[in-house]
Chain A
Amino acid sequence: MSRHAGGKRLGPQQGEVIDRRTSFEFSWNGKPVNAHPGDSIVSALAAEGERVFSRSFKYHRPRGLLTASFHDPGCMVQVGDEPNVRGAHRLAEPGMAVSSQNTWPSLKFDVKAINRFAGRFLTAGFYYKTFMKPEFLWPTYQNVLRQFVHAGEISPDTPHDYYDKRYAHPDVLIAGGGPAGMSAALAAARAGASVMLVEEEHQLGGHLRWSNPGAAAELTAEVAATEGIEVLTNSVVAGRYDQNWIAVAQRDLSHARERLIKARARTLVVAGGLIERPYVFAGNDTPGVMLSTAVQRLINLHAVKPGERAVVLTANESGDAAVADLERAGVEVAYVADARKGEDVVRVHGRKSVRSVELANGRRINADLFVTATGWTAPTSLLNMAGDRPVYSPTAARFLPGGNGDDSVLATGGIAGDGTLDQLCEHAEAIGTEAARRAAGHRYHQLAAVPTRYGGKLSKPRGTAATLPELGVHEHPELFRASTHGIVDYSEDVSSKDLHFAVKEGYDSAELAKRFTTATMGPLQGKLETINAIATIAEATGKTIAETGTTTWRPMYTPVSLGALAGRIFEPVRHSPMQRWHEQHNATPLVAGQWIRPDHYGEPSAEVRNVRENVGIIDVTPIGKLDLRGPDVPKLLNLLYVNKWSKLGIGKVRYGVMCAEDGVVMDDGVTGRLGEDHYLMSTTSSGAARVWEWVENWLQTEHPDWQVHVTPVTTAYASINVAGPKSRELVSRLTEGVDLSAEGFGYMQVRTGRVAGVDDCVLWRIGFTGELSYELHVPASYGLHVWEALLEHGKDLGVRPFGVEGQRILRLEKGHLIVGQDTDGLTKAWSAGIDWAIKLDKDDFVGKPELVWQQENGDGARLVGIQPTDGNVVPPEASQILTKSGAIAGRITSSRMSPTLGRSICLGQVDAELAKPGTLLTVHLPTGAKVAARVTEHHAHVDPEGSRQNIDTPPAKPRPHATPVARGPVAAGRKTTTIASWQVDARRSSAGLRIADHTLLAKVGVRGRHDGAIAEALGTGHGRTIRDNGSAVVVGSGPGEWLVLGSPGGQDKLLSRMRDLVENTGEFGTVIDQTHGRALLKLSGNHAKDLLAKVCGVDLSDAATPDGAALRTSVARLVTDVIRLDDNGVPTYLLHCERSSGQYLFDALLDAGAEFGIEIDGCPTAPTL
């Protein structure tokens, strides 16, 4: 019993969805409303006698219940900070603050309702015509129009909701959970298909919920009891794209506002049923005018009495059923007008509510409810998106599928035709079975193509294509508009008169009239109004409906929030092993691509001076590093670089410049020869990924015969540049096994040795800063240990860290160019000031022809050193350089105040005729001022002779230092323990879903032919994992690429075992220690697969990705290797990625796993495989 006088709540109904045992309150425009669980916002309001829920968009007419479904145009409300909530769909919740939209100052008294009287001025196209001229009034018009825009309000302070994303790979996806959808799902599941059944409403059952609640409950129970059907209610199939890529929006989840499911369905079954169509007549939007289905929903689902005295206009069984329901609910049915017998309505009277109904025969009947049942619209949207063109059937008075879409899409239920419940279910079962058969065919081809499944023969699916049954159509009168004009599009306030007017204005096709009037372009996107609009246009043009045709249905089928489309925002970041140290020491972060780097630690110029006077260290881990092995490496280097590489001795380093085929400078860096067939190439930080792909492209597509293996080792090493006159003193204090004397280890040379107790460090003697400097590449897990050792043992030398800004100043003082800053997308090699490196006498190298021609023609700019005459002026980068006549002749590419020289210094590109040293230039500053500057003799402003990097100080004796500590990429918790020199998290979790950092496992990479002797010796290939007899796990991570995993600390033994294995085959192969280069995370638990399905688009089903599968794919937008290695039947995945992204991947998995209660597990004992 409602406590309000206007109470409309009925006694218990058979199919009701409300729970009468409890009730709660929410507020409506500030006043309390009572509701039961299961009530929609609007059903609760209607139960208390509320009839007006909003004002219409243009004329601000009062609007009430029309469809009592998600698509009810008058029931959009504001809930808290969320506008445009579908009030007849969204469930009421305790404490919700609901208010009406489009009302000012109040729902009852709306000022803008004045538009109603001005209605004749607000014809179609009114806005276009009125607010055009004069142009200077546009800002004013904008302010006026803003008052009249759609809908509710959002506050900029609204906190971000959590939106989620998930991938799915169902065999059969069924859109619509009515009797047809459920029958199709049951048949498909019984045929062995995995089924996703998506229903827009809160329960399965479709129209059976009010027409036959018993049958609805029976089918729903059968679906629940059948294996292989995933039911998603309150979810909608929003779009269908190429190859059945299907967007499903799941609403109102406990952990997320909305979730977008990206489903790759093998077959799609469209079973969306029919949408009841409103009737067009004068006053058809008056509160109290309802569709027959709305009345049935209110009575049967929500136990709400829709009125006290009703008139019904019926043309079909649904109208007849509404009459029966009304009578049962105690509503007085004053009159039933049977449209099948030619009866019709003229108008309803009443403003805020229906007062009386005027029939075509002139009779006027007092009533507060007018119910229409005049026909249906088939929501063929998803079929259209699959290429189908629906056709109009005058017999059925609606559009039907054209049957000419994609064969991975089928239709059943009301969309496909009419029939008894049994006939519909029988049709749906046949469609479901056929959908499963087609899906099995697709699945067979998919499984045959993936290397991850178990070996053995796949059995071809049996069964032959069924002849698809057809549903007939029942005769239905063509009823669209009465003799009067009324609203066609409720959300846009477009009347049939507007459409007639549009046609008269010349917009005589459906697509034109739609755009001119905006009919079908509102929030309902045509679901209620399309057919009436087309019928009205047909009537106005004198054409048939079939000739007029339908407008195109496009995705999305219903509105989906932008948050849901964005899903979780995955933005991989990369950290060096010293990142946390930088943060703790107040480094100003610099975002450089995916890397977060220290820009400076306070004062860049002080950092520069310390490098010039003492010694500084900088974290240069992001520098790209490629390990190159094989006898043909010199051929590769000769091809990629403009300079020569054939005679580079072991232990020597050379600077090289790479161009693209158009001769434009692409990247630069140094490459050193570490052994007979072993080189280490460095690239720019930003170019690392691109250069790797570039190298692979040349090797794979142009020279597959060359014996070269390329392995990216960028984050396998922590890279530290030690620069300054005291750098030899500092480095030698910590280095063993390398003669660091000036003659023993000269400029542009490379050595390997032990630094601060860490083996296998690579030391380059090179200089970007112009000072004596050593670039140390340390196995990444020991990066922090070595960094801290350098600071500790260099205290007395004045060692200080410096950041990227300091380095940029130092390199500019030294005149070193930065590719992409001092060059651009048009800078060919001769324009980069590296003439000395270009060797045109080589037979071939990438971009050679263009450089030959550039040299012949002498065209292009020149890179030169520039100093403003006034040393206090620092021309901003990109300042123009002008000729005497004022034409643009170049630009400043780099500029800084030099702390060493106490004056401004620049690099710049200038036309060739201005490049001579001493040339006086005019630099045009952004302020408009012009300053004089001069071209310098060299690019280098400081020490052009290069004597500073050659100072001959004696090396020191190695000193005792702290024991090396290796650390994984993921920050450990407070409690740690040590395993094989690794400091690891000692936590232990017994949660059902756990994630742990297992980076300490030994990891060895092996490369060879994918089908050769090495592959045979390893015992597995691309896609599969085995345990070898030496207790290691061999992962076939790529074609001709393996990762071998072993116990912590065992990498040296594993490495030599694999080297022996490769050597014994006699085949060309490469074995590299990847222990420090890769992050390795272990994810285990029964929900592990569900978690991964939220961040990974690959099919992880047991058929495609069973135990032992290995694949590489994108996980949370990061390239990740996924290895399934179940642990005593518990689904377990090892995930590994570049070490620098380990923390990112860990965090992304924790976030995705929150809904499953994921916990962090430590590593208190050595992990076993």
Chain B
Amino acid sequence: MIQLPCPWCGPRNASEFTHHGEVTPRPDVGTATPEEWRRYLYFRQNANGWVDENWYHTAGCRRFIRVRRHTTSNETEATR
């Protein structure tokens, strides 16, 4: 099991966190077309490389953190 570097708690086992997926900006609700909205709902980069993800430290500080993770090597860096 990998550890995630929680910027509040320090390194913790990934099992303490909930994965909230890639960071996907929310379109403007007033102007979004169905196409744009559904891209926001369902489309992800799924890159073989660095991705920005949201993780929730469920069993720890209960903060949402931003983790930059390499999807093949699992190298990580996190920000608050």
B3-38: CB near A (< 8 Å → 1, else 0) gives: 101001111110110101000001001101010010
Whole-angstrom distance between the Cβ of B54 and the nearest chain A Cβ: 7
The distance in angstroms between the C-alpha atoms of A843 and B12, with both chains bound, is 40
Partner of B64, one of A697, A1114, A1119: A697
Q: Contacts of B13 on A, CB cut-off 8 Å? A: 1097
A1098 and B62: CB pair below 8 A? no
Asked if B63 CB lies within 8 Å of chain A CBs, one says yes
B29 and A1119: CB pair below 8 A? no
Asked if A593 CB lies within 8 Å of chain B CBs, one says no
A1098-1115: CB near B (< 8 Å → 1, else 0) gives: 100000000000011110
Asked if A848 CB lies within 8 Å of chain B CBs, one says yes
Asked if B49 CB lies within 8 Å of chain A CBs, one says no
Asked if A245 CB lies within 8 Å of chain B CBs, one says yes
Q: Which of B66-80 contact A (CB under 8 A)?
A: 74
A850 and B74: CB pair below 8 A? no
B64 and A700: CB pair below 8 A? yes
Q: Contacts of B15 on A, CB cut-off 8 Å? A: 1097, 1114
A264 and B3: CB pair below 8 A? yes
Asked if B56 CB lies within 8 Å of chain A CBs, one says yes
B1 and A242: CB pair below 8 A? yes
Known contacts A843-B30, A849-B29; A696 and B62 CB within 8 A of each other: yes
Known contacts A243-B2, A696-B64; A844 and B58 CB within 8 A of each other: no
A1018-1043: CB near B (< 8 Å → 1, else 0) gives: 00001100000000000000110000
Whole-angstrom distance between the Cβ of B73 and the nearest chain A Cβ: 9
The distance in angstroms between the C-alpha atoms of A576 and B62, with both chains bound, is 24
Chain A residue with minimal CB distance to B18? A693
Asked if B47 CB lies within 8 Å of chain A CBs, one says no
The distance in angstroms between the C-alpha atoms of A849 and B26, with both chains bound, is 12
The distance in angstroms between the C-alpha atoms of A245 and B3, with both chains bound, is 9
User: Among the interface residues B5, B61, B63, which one has the most CB atoms of the partner chain A within 10 A?
Assistant: B61
Whole-angstrom distance between the Cβ of B80 and the nearest chain A Cβ: 8
Whole-angstrom distance between the Cβ of B55 and the nearest chain A Cβ: 11
Asked if A705 CB lies within 8 Å of chain B CBs, one says no
Asked if A446 CB lies within 8 Å of chain B CBs, one says yes
The distance in angstroms between the C-alpha atoms of A494 and B34, with both chains bound, is 63
Q: Contacts of A1114 on B, CB cut-off 8 Å? A: 15-16, 59
Whole-angstrom distance between the Cβ of A146 and the nearest chain B Cβ: 37
Asked if A661 CB lies within 8 Å of chain B CBs, one says yes
Whole-angstrom distance between the Cβ of A439 and the nearest chain B Cβ: 14
Whole-angstrom distance between the Cβ of A45 and the nearest chain B Cβ: 42
The distance in angstroms between the C-alpha atoms of A450 and B8, with both chains bound, is 8
Q: Contacts of A849 on B, CB cut-off 8 Å? A: 29, 32, 34, 37
The distance in angstroms between the C-alpha atoms of A452 and B9, with both chains bound, is 8
A696 and B2: CB pair below 8 A? no
The distance in angstroms between the C-alpha atoms of A264 and B58, with both chains bound, is 21
Q: Contacts of B61 on A, CB cut-off 8 Å? A: 1022, 1038-1039, 1112
The distance in angstroms between the C-alpha atoms of A245 and B1, with both chains bound, is 6
Asked if A701 CB lies within 8 Å of chain B CBs, one says yes
B59 and A1112: CB pair below 8 A? yes
Partner of B56, one of A452, A693, A1022: A693
Q: Which of A432-463 contact B (CB under 8 A)?
A: 446, 449-452
B38-55: CB near A (< 8 Å → 1, else 0) gives: 001100000000000010
Q: Contacts of B63 on A, CB cut-off 8 Å? A: 700, 1038-1039
Asked if A853 CB lies within 8 Å of chain B CBs, one says yes
Asked if A662 CB lies within 8 Å of chain B CBs, one says yes
Q: Contacts of A702 on B, CB cut-off 8 Å? A: 26
The distance in angstroms between the C-alpha atoms of A452 and B34, with both chains bound, is 48
The distance in angstroms between the C-alpha atoms of A850 and B41, with both chains bound, is 11
Chain B residue with minimal CB distance to A449? B10
The distance in angstroms between the C-alpha atoms of A1023 and B2, with both chains bound, is 23
Whole-angstrom distance between the Cβ of A1008 and the nearest chain B Cβ: 15
Chain A residue with minimal CB distance to B65? A700
Q: Contacts of A242 on B, CB cut-off 8 Å? A: 1-2, 74
User: Among the interface residues A245, A452, A850, A1039, which one has the most CB atoms of the partner chain B within 10 A?
Assistant: A1039
The distance in angstroms between the C-alpha atoms of A843 and B11, with both chains bound, is 41
Q: Contacts of B58 on A, CB cut-off 8 Å? A: 693, 1119
B3 and A243: CB pair below 8 A? yes
Q: Contacts of A693 on B, CB cut-off 8 Å? A: 18, 56, 58
The distance in angstroms between the C-alpha atoms of A242 and B11, with both chains bound, is 14
B9 and A450: CB pair below 8 A? yes
Q: Which of A1091-1131 contact B (CB under 8 A)?
A: 1097-1098, 1111-1114, 1119
Chain B residue with minimal CB distance to A1118? B59
B1 and A848: CB pair below 8 A? no
Whole-angstrom distance between the Cβ of A1124 and the nearest chain B Cβ: 15
A446 and B64: CB pair below 8 A? no
Whole-angstrom distance between the Cβ of A839 and the nearest chain B Cβ: 14
Asked if A126 CB lies within 8 Å of chain B CBs, one says no
Asked if A162 CB lies within 8 Å of chain B CBs, one says no
B9 and A701: CB pair below 8 A? no
Partner of B12, one of A844, A1113, A1119: A1113
Partner of B8, one of A853, A1022, A1113: A1022
A697 and B37: CB pair below 8 A? no
Asked if A241 CB lies within 8 Å of chain B CBs, one says yes
Q: Contacts of A264 on B, CB cut-off 8 Å? A: 3
A806-850: CB near B (< 8 Å → 1, else 0) gives: 000000000000000000000000000000000000011000111
Chain B residue with minimal CB distance to A244? B3
The distance in angstroms between the C-alpha atoms of A449 and B58, with both chains bound, is 18
Q: Contacts of A1038 on B, CB cut-off 8 Å? A: 8, 61-63
Whole-angstrom distance between the Cβ of A1093 and the nearest chain B Cβ: 14
B60 and A1113: CB pair below 8 A? yes
The distance in angstroms between the C-alpha atoms of A848 and B2, with both chains bound, is 38
The distance in angstroms between the C-alpha atoms of A264 and B8, with both chains bound, is 20
B1 and A449: CB pair below 8 A? no
The distance in angstroms between the C-alpha atoms of A992 and B11, with both chains bound, is 32
B64 and A1113: CB pair below 8 A? no
Chain B residue with minimal CB distance to A445? B11
A449 and B5: CB pair below 8 A? yes
A241 and B60: CB pair below 8 A? no
Q: Contacts of A1111 on B, CB cut-off 8 Å? A: 9, 60
Chain B residue with minimal CB distance to A845? B29
Q: Contacts of A850 on B, CB cut-off 8 Å? A: 37
The distance in angstroms between the C-alpha atoms of A446 and B30, with both chains bound, is 46
User: Among the interface residues A451, A701, A850, which one has the most CB atoms of the partner chain B within 10 A?
Assistant: A701
Known contacts A242-B74, A1119-B58; A451 and B8 CB within 8 A of each other: yes
Chain A residue with minimal CB distance to B13? A1097
The distance in angstroms between the C-alpha atoms of A242 and B1, with both chains bound, is 6
The distance in angstroms between the C-alpha atoms of A853 and B41, with both chains bound, is 15
Whole-angstrom distance between the Cβ of B63 and the nearest chain A Cβ: 6
Q: Contacts of A1097 on B, CB cut-off 8 Å? A: 13, 15
B37 and A451: CB pair below 8 A? no
Whole-angstrom distance between the Cβ of B29 and the nearest chain A Cβ: 5
Chain B residue with minimal CB distance to A712? B62
Partner of A450, one of B10, B56, B59: B10
A1112 and B60: CB pair below 8 A? yes
A697 and B56: CB pair below 8 A? yes
B interface, CB within 8 angstroms of A = 1-3, 5, 8-13, 15-16, 18, 20, 26, 29-30, 32, 34, 37, 40-41, 54, 56, 58-64, 74
User: Which 8 residue pairs across A and B have the least CB separation, nearest first?
Assistant: A450-B10, A449-B10, A1114-B59, A700-B64, A844-B29, A1119-B59, A849-B37, A242-B2
19 contacts between A and B (CB under 8 A): A242-B1, A242-B2, A446-B11, A693-B18, A697-B64, A700-B64, A701-B64, A702-B26, A843-B29, A849-B34, A849-B37, A1022-B61, A1097-B13, A1112-B9, A1112-B59, A1112-B62, A1114-B16, A1114-B59, A1119-B59
A interface, CB within 8 angstroms of B = 241-243, 245, 264, 446, 449-452, 661-662, 693, 696-697, 700-702, 843-844, 848-850, 853, 1022-1023, 1038-1039, 1097-1098, 1111-1114, 1119
11 more contacts with CB within 8 A, not counting A697-B54, A1038-B8, are: A241-B1, A242-B74, A700-B64, A701-B64, A844-B30, A1039-B8, A1112-B60, A1112-B62, A1113-B12, A1114-B59, A1119-B58
